[in-house]
A = this chain, B = another copy of it.
């Protein structure tokens, strides 16, 4: 690749590990937006303009922004405006962002942007730390072992597949709810029980929801009872009727953004792989 130096602006621990990992490959990395970490381990630059001009490409965080104005930079002592970044960045310089930016909204929308967060392998790879985080969450929040427990996983997409396989690997009895006939066959091939969500009955010690639509409504929560721990992995508002769960005392945990929380080093490497794959495909 022709890119010899990267500027990483903003982001959390994932971006620090990303920086380490890129450096280990022999590239130059300049960090900006990490000055409030004062353990001395991070060499955050002081001048945004220099970081941008001296880098062949920029890597921005996922999410790009919390407020729509400044870049997501929890370790920066000062806000970093996206406008400033856009203004200082040459229109031809590759800018790696997480998700697509609505054109017209972001000042970066006309730049030479590439999106690592929308790639298939990025989503596939992040299913691993998500599944592990769900398992860690279940272990921490219950008084029983997963081994020997009855688990329900709703949905058999990327996360459902990895999570159900891991649970089975820990000795749990796993039922997966799915609708597609094909998924039902794949679940069976993986040695697990499959059931349509409307036919789910009986007690489960743990219920992991991966479906981003309301599938655990009041009626189903009543059937499930308060002895099940529900861990909802779907983006808010998730797949569970929160207020019904609350009224019925069904324990419910929203476990979100797990990769960055439970395995930032792995998550940083997943970003790197996606960025490198883009560079390879686009001959950057």
Residues of A within 8 A of B (CB): 13, 17, 119-121, 123-125, 127-129, 131-132, 135-136, 139-140, 142-148, 161-162, 165-166, 168-173, 180-182, 184-186, 188-191, 262-266, 273, 277
> 9 A-B pairs, CB-CB below 8 angstroms?
A128-B189, A135-B170, A136-B140, A142-B263, A147-B189, A161-B186, A169-B169, A171-B188, A181-B277
B residues in contact with A191, CB < 8 Å: 147, 168, 170-173
CB distance from A280 to the nearest CB of B (A): 9
Query: Are the C-beta atoms of A143 and B184 separated by less than 8 Å?
Result: no
Bound CA–CA A109/B140 (angstroms): 38
Query: Are the C-beta atoms of A13 and B143 separated by less than 8 Å?
Result: yes
Main DSSP-derived SS at the A contact region: helix
B residues in contact with A184, CB < 8 Å: 121
Partner of A145, one of B169, B180, B190, B263: B263
B residues in contact with A170, CB < 8 Å: 132, 135, 166, 169-170, 191
Partner of A121, one of B125, B132, B173, B180: B180
B residues in contact with A139, CB < 8 Å: 132, 135-136, 139, 262
Contact of A148 with B265 at beta-carbon distance under 8 Å, contacts A143-B17, A166-B169 already known: no
Given contacts A128-B185, A143-B266, A166-B170, 4 further A-B pairs with CB under 8 A are: A136-B136, A147-B166, A161-B186, A168-B191
Leading 9 A-B pairs by shortest Cβ distance: A169-B169, A121-B181, A171-B191, A143-B265, A120-B182, A125-B185, A124-B185, A136-B139, A121-B182
CB distance from A51 to the nearest CB of B (A): 25
Bound CA–CA A264/B143 (angstroms): 5
B residues in contact with A147, CB < 8 Å: 128, 131-132, 162, 166, 188-189, 191
CB distance from A112 to the nearest CB of B (A): 22
B residues in contact with A148, CB < 8 Å: 128, 188-189, 266
B residues in contact with A273, CB < 8 Å: 181
Query: Are the C-beta atoms of B129 and A145 separated by less than 8 Å?
Result: yes
B residues in contact with A125, CB < 8 Å: 185, 188-189
CB distance from A171 to the nearest CB of B (A): 4
Contact of A189 with B124 at beta-carbon distance under 8 Å, contacts A170-B132, A170-B169 already known: yes
Bound CA–CA A46/B41 (angstroms): 57
